[in-house]
């Protein structure tokens, strides 16, 4: 089949239309944004999916990733406010919110964010002391995020997070800090030990005070009760002595017998319980005691007499027939 000139033109036209259609259809993947330029001027941004542009008039300007991206900040030397040199590195997370601003407001977006983060790290960390720098990483991260995010906002960028990965002071400074920490811990331990000893002494003193108070109160109560007992005993003895005296004055012989026998028995008890006595010999027969009591009663009758008769002259005492003479317990010398 021989094609004529018209057929060739039609085929060429169809091929051209197909090529134009392919050139005008653009597919944008998810997570990306394409900028469209018409004769070199930005006109719009293509969203993910199938899009159609005008071939030969419009073209794709920039392909931007709008997903959150990680930017590794290299290690850099930082001099703190107290002139300590430390090495610090960080990591930053950012996301493109406005593709047109990110494409046309800054050149080399990633390098710009990196340098901006590095300079702010030196600025923020250099305004702090070393101790504050090592103990306030969260505060450093918050300050860096706020400063860098405000700086990149005109570029259509959102910095979501900046984290300090590591802060490395010099080796000699680390050793000095370790010694300082050890000294501080020993100081706190000594303070706690001293406070514990002081509290223990206070508690012991309080216990001794309470014990002394209770002991004094017990002694006072015991002395009071002892005095009361002596007072009652004295009252009883006085009453008994008065009754015996009245009975003797009235001529009652039994009262003086009771009084003398009681004193005699108490004397025998004292002699028998003496601490310096080893062997005590005394008349312990009941007949001797009864005889002594009878003699005392006779003496009382002779002295006081019978109620109506005058007292008779004393009669000579009869010595009991014993092989050995009786021993007077009041003149007995204890054997050592």
The predicted-structure confidence for 139-151, as pLDDT tens digits, reads as follows 999 999 999 999 9
Length of the chain equals: 336
Query: Residue 175: how many CA atoms within 13 Å on its side-chain side?
Result: 3
Pairwise pLDDT comparison (131 vs 48), residue with the higher score: 48
Q: Judge whether residue 67 has pLDDT over 90.
A: yes
Residue 36 belongs to a domain: yes
Where are the strands (E) in the chain, listed by range?
25-28, 32-38, 41-46, 49-52, 58-65, 69-79, 85-96, 157-168
User: Domain check: are 151 and 77 in the same one?
Assistant: yes
User: Is 135 a domain residue?
Assistant: yes
Q: Are residues 80 and 44 in the same domain?
A: no
Q: Are residues 141 and 204 in the same domain?
A: no
CATH of the domain at 141: 3.30.479.30
- What confidence score (pLDDT) does residue 177 get? 76
Residue-wise pLDDT tens digits, 229-240: 888 888 887 887
Residue range(s) defining the domain that contains residue 32: 10-64
Counting the structural domains of the chain, the total is: 3
- What pLDDT does 98 receive? 93
Q: 145 with 194, same domain? A: no
Residue predicted with more confidence, 8 or 31 = 31
- Give the whole-angstrom CA distance, residue 59 versus residue 136: 50
The answer to whether residues 59 and 85 belong to one domain is no
> How far, CA to CA in Å, does 264 sit from each of 49, 159, 234?
136, 118, 20
Q: Which residue has the tokens 């005296």?
A: 245
Last residue of a domain, one of 245, 271, 295: 245
Is residue 304 within 8 Å of 297, Cβ to Cβ? no
85 and 145 in a common domain: yes
Residues 164 and 71 in one domain: yes
Tell me: do 56 and 87 sit in the same domain: no
Element (H, E) at 20: helix 5-24
Query: What confidence category does residue 330 fall into, taking pLDDT thresholds of 50, 70 and 90?
Result: very low
Same-domain check for residues 96 and 123: yes
CA distance 72 to 66: 18
228 and 158 assigned to the same domain = no
Return the top range by mean pLDDT from 33-37, 171-175, 219-223, 248-252.
33-37
How do residues 187-231 score in pLDDT, each as one tens digit?
Answer: 999 999 999 999 999 999 999 999 999 989 888 888 888 888 888
pTM of the model as a whole: 0.52
pLDDT number for residue 253: 61
Residue 140 covered by a domain:
yes
Question: pLDDT at position 236, please?
Answer: 81
Residue 33's pLDDT band, with cuts at 50, 70 and 90, is: very high
Q: pLDDT over 70 for what percent of the chain?
A: 74
Lookup result for tokens 């007077």 = 328
More confident residue, 19 or 202: 202
Instruction: Write out pLDDT tens, residues 291-312.
Output: 555 555 555 555 445 444 444 4
């Amino acid at each position: 089949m021989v094609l004529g000139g018209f057929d060739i033109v039609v085929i060429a036209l169809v091929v051209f239309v197909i090529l134009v259609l392919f050139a005008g259809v653009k597919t944008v993947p998810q997570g990306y944004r394409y900028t469209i330029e018409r004769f070199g001027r930005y006109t719009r941004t293509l969203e993910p999916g199938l899009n159609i542009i005008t071939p030969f008039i419009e073209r794709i300007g920039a392909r931007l990733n709008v997903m959150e991206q990680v930017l590794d900040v290299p290690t850099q030397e930082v001099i703190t406010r107290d002139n300590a040199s430390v090495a610090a590195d960080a990591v930053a997370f950012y996301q493109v919110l406005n593709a047109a601003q990110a494409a046309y407001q800054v050149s080399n977006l990633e390098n710009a964010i990196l340098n901006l983060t590095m300079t702010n790290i030196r600025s923020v960390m250099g305004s702090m002391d070393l101790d504050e720098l090592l103990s306030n990483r969260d505060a450093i991260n918050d300050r860096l995020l706020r400063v860098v995010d405000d700086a990149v906002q005109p570029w259509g960028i959102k910095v979501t997070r900046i984290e300090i990965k590591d802060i490395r002071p010099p080796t000699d400074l680390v050793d000095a800090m370790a010694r300082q920490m050890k000294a501080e811990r020993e100081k706190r331990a000594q303070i706690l030990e001293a406070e514990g000893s002081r509290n223990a002494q206070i508690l012991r003193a309080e216990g001794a005070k309470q014990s002394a108070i209770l002991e004094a109160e017990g002694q006072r109560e015991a002395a009071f009760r002892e005095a009361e007992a002596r007072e009652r005993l004295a009252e009883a003895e006085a009453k008994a002595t008065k009754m015996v005296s009245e009975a003797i004055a009235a001529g009652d012989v039994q009262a003086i017998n009771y009084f003398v026998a009681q004193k005699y028995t108490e004397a025998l008890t004292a002699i028998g319980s003496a601490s310096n006595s080893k062997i005590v010999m005394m008349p312990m027969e009941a007949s001797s005691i009864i005889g002594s009591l009878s003699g005392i009663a006779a003496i009382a009758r002779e002295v006081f007499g019978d109620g109506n008769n005058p007292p008779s002259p004393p009669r000579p005492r009869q010595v009991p027939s014993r092989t050995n003479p009786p021993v007077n317990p009041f003149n007995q010398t204890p054997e050592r």
